[in-house]
Chains A and B, each alone.
Chain A
Amino acid sequence: MFKDILKSVNGYDNWSIISMLIFFLFFVGLIIYVWKLDKNFSNYMSSLPLENEENSK
Chain B
Amino acid sequence: MAEHSTASSNEYQANLETFYYDNGIVKLFAMATVVWGIAAFLYGVYVAFAIFMPQLNFGSEFLTFGRIRPIHTNAAIFAFVGNGIFMGVYYSLQRLCKTRMFSDMLGKLHFWGWQLIIASAAITFHAGITTGKEYAELEWPIDILIAIVWIIFGLNMFMTILKRRERHLYVAIWFYIASWVTITVLHVVNSMELPYTWLHSYSVYAGVQDALVQWWYGHNAVAFFLTTPYLGLMYYFLPKAANRPVYSYKLSIIHFWSLLFIYIWAGPHHLLYTSLPDWAQSLGTVFSIMLIAPSWGGMLNGLLTLRGAWDKVREDPILKFMVVAVTAYGMATLEGPMLAVKSINALSHYTDWTIAHVHVGVLGWNGFLTFGVLYWLIPKLWNTKLYSKKLANAHFWIGTLGILTYVIPMYIAGVTQGLMWKQFTPEGVLQYPNFLETVTQILPMYMIRATGGTIYLVGACLMVYNLVKTAKQGSFVKNEKDQATPFPFQYIKETGERQHRWLERKPMAMLFVATIVIAIGGAVEIIPMILIKSNVPTIASVKPYTPLELYGRDMYIREGCYTCHSQMVRPFRSETERYREYSKVGEFVYDHPFQWGSKRTGPDLHREGGKYNNSWHYWHMNNPRDISPGSIMPAFPWLLTKEMDIQSVSAKIAAMMTLGVPYPVGYDKVAPQDLKTQAKLIATQLVAEGVTDVKESAEIIALIAYLQRLGTDIKAK
B-contacting residues of A (Cβ < 8 Å)? 1-2, 4-6, 8-9, 19, 23, 26-27, 30-31, 33-38, 41-50, 52-53, 55-56
Contacts and interface: CB of A to CB of B under 8 A. Distances in A.
Contacts of B96: 48-49
Nearest to B277: A1
B621 to A, nearest CB: 42
Contacts of B474: none
A44 to B, nearest CB: 8
A48 B258 CA distance: 23
Contact of A50 (B168, B172, B240, B257): B240
A33 B279 contact: no
Contacts of A49: 92, 95-96, 170, 172, 235-236, 239-240, 245-246
B254 A1 contact: no
A20 to B, nearest CB: 12
A32 B261 CA distance: 17
Nearest to B484: A55
B250 A55 contact: no
B498 A50 contact: no
A36 B240 contact: no
Contact of A45 (B170, B282, B498): B170
B482 A53 contact: no
Contact of B253 (A30, A38, A56): A30
Given A37-B498, A49-B240, A56-B481, 12 more contacts: A4-B279, A5-B277, A5-B279, A9-B532, A30-B257, A34-B254, A37-B500, A42-B249, A45-B168, A46-B248, A50-B244, A50-B245
Q: What 4 A-B pairs come out closest when comparing CB atoms?
A: A2-B279, A46-B245, A46-B249, A1-B279
A8 B534 contact: yes
B515 to A, nearest CB: 16
B498 A36 contact: yes
B253 A46 contact: no
Nearest to A3: B279
B528 interface: yes
Contacts of A34: 250-251, 253-254
B501 interface: yes
B283 interface: yes
A35 to B, nearest CB: 8
B143 interface: no
Nearest to A22: B520
B166 interface: yes
A47 B166 CA distance: 13
Contacts of A5: 277, 279, 528, 532, 535
B279 A48 contact: no
Given A1-B279, A2-B279, A34-B253, A53 B528 contact: no
Contacts of B647: none
Nearest to A42: B249
Contacts of A27: 258
Give chain A's interface secondary structure class. Answer: helix
A47 B484 contact: no
Contacts of A42: 249-250
Nearest to B244: A50
B674 interface: no
Interface in B219-261: 235-236, 239-240, 243-246, 248-254, 257-258, 261
Contact of B499 (A9, A26, A31, A33): A33
A50 B239 contact: yes
B253 A48 contact: no
Nearest to B21: A52
A23 B531 CA distance: 24
Contacts of A46: 239, 245-246, 248-249, 252
Contact of B532 (A8, A47, A48): A8
Contacts of B524: 19
A50 B593 CA distance: 49
Nearest to A8: B532
B704 interface: no
B483 interface: yes
B171 interface: yes
A4 B535 CA distance: 11
B197 to A, nearest CB: 38
Given A45-B168, A48-B96, A48-B166, A33 B243 contact: no
Contacts of B496: 38
B500 A33 contact: yes
B577 interface: no
B249 A55 contact: no
A33 to B, nearest CB: 6
B278 interface: yes
B95 A45 contact: no
B652 to A, nearest CB: 34
20 contacts: A5-B279, A9-B531, A19-B524, A26-B257, A26-B261, A34-B254, A37-B500, A38-B496, A43-B249, A45-B249, A47-B245, A48-B170, A49-B95, A49-B240, A49-B246, A50-B245, A52-B482, A55-B482, A55-B484, A56-B481
A23 B250 CA distance: 20
A19 B252 CA distance: 25
A16 B257 CA distance: 22
> Which one of A34, A35, A46 has the highest number of Cβ atoms from chain B below 10 Å of its Cβ?
A46
